[in-house]
């Protein structure tokens, strides 16, 4: 064959190849004739193209070509089966979660028979199980899966994966098996998380252990932290906190005793009677061991995290220790991932406010601020916004300090200031990651504020929080940080200010007739009193609670506090031409507040009063 005819044949073959095949030939990795041979061999044997290419050439496929091949392969599978594809290398796949689902729900024999892997449970109405399948169109497989899921009121969501990735995920399952067995053994040992025993007996057991171990010691030492009674006591504290819907746990050493308090519905309550002071070191050490902290370090604050399975769901406890006069105080913030799975419609019940927030959150670019004090639910609101925007066509990145909840499908970055990774530097890195939506956990300084606004002005939706008293105050806060007014007015979409109000307990509430002064304070009149029924909390003193408990008539819903649960009150401000003018003029907060596009919290509070859910 002449050189000319060889060249003509090579050109013809290149026209025959796919774009990826042409790229392989053009890169010099393989010749056109060998490429055709590899394609024929693939069709005959059913083996992967990459495997055959590497055998023919005797060398591995370069990493960039491997990635391109994988991308093309997944795209073809997505088109073929009409479902989203999964690349485990680019996704946060938890081997332990796979092991849990195989152990409790989808048997391993079924997984092997149909070449599928359960990935995770997706909360919703109804909840569903996300399953990666080599053949999502296998009706026999979907029928067998649905026979398992339907009695549990679970739906099925499918992803397509390659055969090679199925084997990798199966390997993740096998690697996670020992960890799953350890977790099951620990849960069996720590059943106290769901079955409470008598606190007096636990403390007495600790005293007995202490006496047996060290008759001369005045206090239990850190070495006693792994004794069963100490473990039982700590588990009881965690269990009670979870059962009562607590947000924070305070372990507070006092001069003569150990005090334990829970924050429920925003208010601290004493959770147990004072405990003996001598158990303090062992209890503190137990919490530090569980949080992977240094039990020998008692002079400096430490931060850690405890993870537990409670009633079938993962719950994290963010732990902080603080040296104090009478010993280390331990504070635990409960991070229950189920709270982030609320939709915006569950959080914001006022339809007008909900519509505005959804409209602002759906914009392709701009700055959306959420303001309010610590513990007012800002993170929950932002996570709910992200959940509504989170789908395969959107790239979402978050900078958080710390990362409180895991969000599947989203890139979450932890702030590490000692390594130079602050909010501003992470934001700058995000700008090179092609993001659509960016969340900044908190805007605290000028550099972060300016970087966030620059991102909002260059085609990204930026969500962040500020600490201000109301929506209008957010403008002044940015101005105080040194951000130019034209940048604020040009980037701002709106501000959502929020508070959490305690709900009056519906079981023990008492009817109430507010005074004229109280009505006026909430912008109401005597006419409004005729339209609705007002209630107040039946709050008992400590002595009254103890007496009610002895008599058996203590309210089981609120335990005498008079309140159960909280509800959000929101104030939303949209940007407008008039607001932009005022911002550019450097208007004060008092001039901004009266704008017609500011939906006031008092108005929404009245609506909640009409729903009999707010105390006057």
Distance separating alpha carbons of residues 113 and 109, to the nearest angstrom: 6
Burial letters for 206-237: b for 16+ Cβ neighbours within 10 Å, e otherwise? beebbeeeeeeeebbebebbebebbbbbbbbb
End residue of a domain, out of 140, 160, 189: 189
552 sits in the region (left: phi over 0; alpha: psi -120 to 50; else beta) called left
| 557 part of a folded domain | yes
End residue of a domain, out of 61, 80, 105: 61
Residues 38 and 177 in one domain: no
| 576 part of a folded domain | yes
Residues 95 and 150 in one domain: yes
The residue behind tokens 């707010």 is: 614
Report yes or no: 536 and 505 within 8 Å, Cβ to Cβ: no
Report yes or no: 322 and 328 within 8 Å, Cβ to Cβ: yes
End residue of a domain, out of 189, 206, 230: 189
Residues 215 and 355 in one domain: no
Q: What is the CATH number of the domain that holds 137?
A: 3.30.300.160
The verdict on pTM exceeding 0.85 is no
Both tokens of residue 347?
Answer: 């959080």
Residues 363 and 260 in one domain: no
Residues 327 and 375 in one domain: no
Distance separating alpha carbons of residues 300 and 529, to the nearest angstrom: 55
- When divided into structural domains, the chain yields a total of 4
Question: Domain range spanning residue 211?
Answer: 192-335
Distance separating alpha carbons of residues 422 and 415, to the nearest angstrom: 5
| Strand ranges in 391-541 using DSSP code E only, listed in sequence order | 396-400, 411-414, 437-440, 461-466, 492-504, 510-512, 534-536
Distance separating alpha carbons of residues 301 and 313, to the nearest angstrom: 29
| 72 part of a folded domain | no
| 83 part of a folded domain | no
CB count within 10 Å of CB 170 equals: 18
Report yes or no: 248 and 227 within 8 Å, Cβ to Cβ: no
Q: What is the CATH number of the domain that holds 535?
A: 3.40.50.300
Report yes or no: 434 and 426 within 8 Å, Cβ to Cβ: no
Residues 181 and 216 in one domain: no
Residues 269 and 209 in one domain: yes
Report yes or no: 532 and 605 within 8 Å, Cβ to Cβ: no
pLDDT at 614: 41
* R_g of the chain, CA atoms, integer Å: 30
Mean pLDDT per block of 10 residues along the chain (616 residues) reads 45 56 76 80 75 79 78 84 86 83 89 92 85 92 91 91 88 77 64 50 54 44 64 86 89 94 89 88 91 91 86 82 94 79 79 92 95 87 90 90 81 88 92 94 91 94 92 91 93 93 88 82 69 84 84 85 86 91 89 66 47 42
Q: What is the CATH number of the domain that holds 296?
A: 3.30.450.90
CA distances from 508 to 64, 217, 560, 561 (A): 67, 48, 9, 10
Q: CA nearest 348: which of 360, 361, 357?
A: 357
Residue 613, SS3? coil
């Amino acid at each position: 064959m002449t050189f000319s005819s060889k060249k003509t044949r090579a050109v013809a073959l290149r026209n025959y190849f796919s774009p990826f095949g042409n790229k392989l030939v053009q890169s010099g990795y393989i010749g056109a004739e060998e490429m055709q041979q590899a394609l024929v061999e693939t069709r005959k044997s059913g083996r992967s193209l990459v495997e055959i290419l590497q055998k023919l050439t005797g060398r591995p496929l370069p990493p960039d070509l491997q990635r391109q091949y994988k991308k093309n392969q997944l795209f073809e599978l997505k088109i073929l089966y009409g479902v989203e594809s999964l690349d485990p290398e680019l996704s946060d796949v938890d081997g332990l979660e796979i092991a849990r689902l195989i152990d409790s729900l989808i048997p391993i024999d079924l997984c092997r028979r149909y070449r599928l892997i359960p990935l995770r449970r997706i909360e919703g109405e109804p909840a569903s199980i996300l399953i990666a399948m080599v053949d999502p169109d296998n009706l026999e497989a979907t029928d067998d899966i649905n026979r398992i899921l339907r009695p549990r009121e679970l739906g099925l969501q499918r992803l397509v994966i390659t055969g090679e990735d199925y084997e990798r995920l199966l390997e993740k399952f096998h690697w996670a098996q020992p960890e799953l067995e350890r977790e099951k053994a620990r849960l069996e040992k720590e059943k106290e998380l769901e079955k409470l025993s008598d606190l007096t007996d636990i403390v007495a057991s600790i005293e007995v252990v202490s006496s047996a171990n060290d008759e001369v010691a005045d206090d239990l030492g850190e070495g006693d932290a792994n004794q069963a009674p100490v473990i039982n006591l700590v588990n009881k504290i965690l269990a009670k906190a979870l059962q009562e819907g607590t947000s924070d746990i305070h372990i507070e050493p006092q001069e003569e005793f150990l005090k334990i308090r829970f924050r429920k519905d925003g208010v601290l309550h004493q959770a147990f009677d004072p405990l003996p002071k001598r158990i303090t070191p062992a209890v503190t050490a137990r919490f530090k061991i569980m949080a992977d902290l240094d039990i020998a370090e008692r002079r400096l604050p430490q931060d850690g995290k405890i993870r537990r399975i409670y009633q079938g769901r993962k719950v994290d406890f963010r732990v902080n220790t603080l040296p104090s006069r009478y010993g280390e105080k331990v504070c635990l913030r409960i991070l229950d991932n189920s709270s982030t799975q609320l939709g915006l419609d569950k959080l914001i019940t006022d339809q007008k406010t909900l519509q505005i927030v959804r409209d602002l959150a759906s914009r392709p670019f701009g700055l959306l601020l959420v303001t309010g004090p610590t513990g007012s639910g800002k993170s929950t609101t932002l996570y709910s916004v992200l959940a509504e925007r989170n789908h395969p066509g959107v790239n979402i990145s978050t900078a958080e300090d710390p990362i409180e909840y895991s969000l599947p499908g989203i890139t979450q970055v932890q702030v590490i200031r000692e390594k130079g990774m602050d909010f501003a530097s992470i934001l700058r890195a995000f700008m090179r990651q092609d993001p659509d939506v960016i969340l900044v956990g908190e805007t605290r300084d000028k550099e972060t504020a300016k970087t966030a606004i620059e991102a909002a002005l260059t085609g990204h939706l930026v969500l962040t929080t500020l600490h201000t008293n109301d929506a209008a105050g957010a403008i002044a806060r940015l101005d105080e940080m040194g951000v130019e007014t034209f940048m604020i007015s040009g980037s701002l979409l709106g501000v959502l200010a929020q508070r959490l109000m305690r709900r009056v307990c519906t079981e023990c509430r008492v009817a109430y007739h507010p005074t004229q002064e109280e009505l006026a304070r909430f912008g109401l009149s005597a006419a409004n009193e005729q339209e609705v029924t007002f209630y107040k909390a039946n709050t008992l003193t400590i002595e009254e609670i103890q007496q009610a408990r002895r008599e058996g008539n203590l309210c089981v819903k609120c335990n005498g506090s008079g309140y159960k649960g909280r509800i959000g009150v929101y104030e939303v401000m949209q940007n407008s031409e008039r607001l932009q003018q005022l911002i550019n003029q450097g208007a004060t907060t008092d001039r901004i507040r009266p704008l017609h596009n500011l939906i006031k919290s008092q108005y929404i509070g009245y609506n909640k009063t009409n729903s009999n859910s707010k105390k006057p």
